[in-house]
Amino acid sequence: MYQSNQSMDSQQQMKSMCQQYMNFYVTGQLQDGSSFEGIIDQIDDVAVTMLIPEEVELEETDRQFGGYYGGPGRRRYRRYRRQRFPFGLLSGLLLYPFIYPPYPYYYPYY
């Protein structure tokens, strides 16, 4: 009985943490040690639904002068897919750090 109460408390803590970080881009870790990143989309009593990013490359088209519109390289896109994680599998969440310049950013004078 003690073990189930302890797991229920940790699930409630994880649920409250997910509610706190709702609609934020977070890094999550599972009980097996694997990690993932995504946006918290929905929360219910037993699981959290997240939008997980997926890199997609546009296939090369048969255009003259190499590539698309004369530019080198390939076009890449990011697509998000919903994935559901039970609270029992989650071991932690971290806010994803985005590095940005302080506001207001002043351009250097030359």
Q: Tell me how far apart the alpha carbons of residues 33 and 104 are, in angstroms, rounded to a whole number.
A: 40
Model pLDDT, residue 59: 62
Which fold is adopted by the domain 2-95?
SH3 type barrels. (2.30.30)
Q: Tell me how far apart the alpha carbons of residues 31 and 15 are, in angstroms, rounded to a whole number.
A: 15
Q: Comparing C-alpha atoms, which of 23, 54, 57 is closest to residue 40?
A: 23
pLDDT bin (cut points 50, 70, 90) of residue 3 is: very low
Whether the pLDDT of residue 72 is over 60: the answer is no
Q: Which residues pair with 93 in a beta bridge?
A: 28
Q: Is 0.85 topped by the overall pTM? A: no
CA distances 103 to 7, 57, 97, 110, Å, are 43, 34, 17, 21
Whether the pLDDT of residue 63 is over 80: the answer is no
Q: What does the domain layout of the chain look like in residue ranges?
A: 2-95
